[in-house]
Chain A
């Protein structure tokens, strides 16, 4: 191994020390050489000459280690083979150009640092909220402009958004709503059977799916599906400087990128919610029929009695608000992306988490509002 690696021989003669470097001084052996040479430099050996005549091959790292040693112990490099002279000269120039001691950062854990970090986080959250509010204002202004100048609207982009975020989401939304209906009916029946009140499973199903679960499940799926896509699409355009290109071409990114996505979602999310309501009730109905022997005519009769005219609308009315939150948070995240791949990922995650959080906060707000209104 020693033959293929790099090493040096030490000869002492009349007060001066001669180091004969031999072998392949390359990056492969750098770790070992670094250790030995650092030890050597620490031992302060006095007058030293380094003989390079025995070196078989040398690369920039090897040359760097030699020069660093020569510098730190004030030694001279002698007997340099012709082939390595230019390399050494080149590396020497590079070494001179850089500061001798690179600054090292020490990271220690301190309570103060932790508090500092916490404070930073709080301020960042506040700053984010302010930015989002400003973005909300920008959207409103742009929407106002579109109302005044309808010719600025982009119907083709809107249709494409409807296709991607509405139509294409039908299967997954339908399947999950169906399963939710089945689960509610099954769990509800289990509990209500203890009172002999299985028939009220229908009431439980109707109220929970129509008022809460239909729109919540749909909004959460769409936040994960479309909200993330908004951030990633617009973010990738940011990385590619396409958004900047738009701006210098006189196009408003909010008008071109945000509005079609926002309006598309404002239309498709209520429709998806309606679909989810319908499929959820159907799934629950099927479960009632199979497991509880509540036949469809009885189910429909009970359903009719359980609902008042507002029940359906109290669920669907929330959908446009959720849609607004998803599109706004998603697009804002995209526009915030900096020019790196990591930033795209970070903002995509953040916008999904933020929009789901805001959806649940809004939903709680609606519950309180509806309770105050006694509906």
Chain B
């Protein structure tokens, strides 16, 4: 059964190395077209940075891929499964295999940080209480938060801490695929750098694949393997060197403006 399906999959041009495969995606909000025919491949083990001007629809793209918004046209495949064809149960199983970090952490405000991290673990597995406590502590420590944070409520955290706690929750199930919505925005430059390293480490040790919406040029240079730029409702995808050579005015001012030069200085030939 599974062999037959796999064979069919290959016949359709599926590729096991692609965790996310988007074809001809069109999204509209209130009659306004946000994306007009987007194709996107996310390969296993890579970090893809998605950039674009404010309001270009970066977060909308992320939300559409994880199924929070319904596309007007096009297909989205995650882990080789076509999202639109899944029933609720299959979708839940799929959702356990990815982690999502929202812009402001999106922690559950009535739970403590440790309880937030335990939510997906409790949902999926039957673990003893002391192990839940220890896992929550471990995840907190992995994202660089002090152990005392565990018993705090989200309203008692700073913006940067909320993001880290949100990342800890996204990592709770050790997902293969991680969606990050502006993970380093709001962090001080040192923490942001540490965060980039953390993502890089997790990527190499866990074989993590990352889809990252970001504005942070340092992050693009430090950890992204490829970059997708949302311009004029479409995507341009390439390595940083390829995109720097692109004549499009937005890309030119993005990479060759003062901030771009500062970040790229000496790192890219």
Contacts and interface: CB of A to CB of B under 8 A. Distances in A.
B126 interface: yes
Interface in A71-110: 83-84, 86-87, 90-91, 94-95, 97-99, 102, 104
Contacts of B134: 64, 68, 102
Interface in B125-184: 125-128, 130-131, 133-135, 137-142, 147, 153-155, 171, 173-174
A31 B128 contact: yes
B151 to A, nearest CB: 9
B8 interface: no
Interface in B50-88: none
B109 to A, nearest CB: 3
A31 B125 contact: yes
Interface stretch (B20-28, B185-193, B199-207, B211-219): B199-207
A30 B124 CA distance: 12
Contacts of A28: 125
Interface string A318-342: 0000000000000000000011111
A90 B127 contact: no
A26 B207 CA distance: 14
Contacts of A208: none
Contacts of B174: 26-27, 59-61
Given A34-B128, A340-B110, A341-B110, A27 B173 contact: yes
Given A86-B205, A339-B155, A91 B133 contact: no
B231 interface: no
Interface residues of B, number: 32
A271 B121 CA distance: 55
Interface size classification for chain A: 20 to 34
Contacts of A342: 109-110
B125 A30 contact: yes
Given A30-B127, A31-B128, A60 B138 contact: yes
Contact of A60 (B125, B127, B153, B171): B171
Nearest to A31: B127
A30 B129 CA distance: 12
A82 to B, nearest CB: 11
A340 B125 contact: no
Contact of A31 (B108, B126, B138, B154): B126
B161 to A, nearest CB: 14
Contacts of A87: 205-206
Nearest to B202: A90
Nearest to A90: B201
A61 B138 CA distance: 8
Given A27-B173, A102-B137, A338 B155 contact: yes
Nearest to B201: A90
Contact of B154 (A61, A91, A94, A340): A340
B101 to A, nearest CB: 16
A65 to B, nearest CB: 9
Contact of A90 (B155, B205, B207): B205
Interface of A: 26-28, 30-31, 34, 59-61, 64, 68, 83-84, 86-87, 90-91, 94-95, 97-99, 102, 104, 239, 338-343
6 contacts: A28-B125, A30-B125, A30-B127, A86-B204, A94-B142, A102-B147
Interface of B: 108-110, 121, 125-128, 130-131, 133-135, 137-142, 147, 153-155, 171, 173-174, 201-202, 204-207
Given A27-B121, A64-B138, 5 more contacts: A27-B173, A60-B138, A95-B141, A104-B130, A104-B133
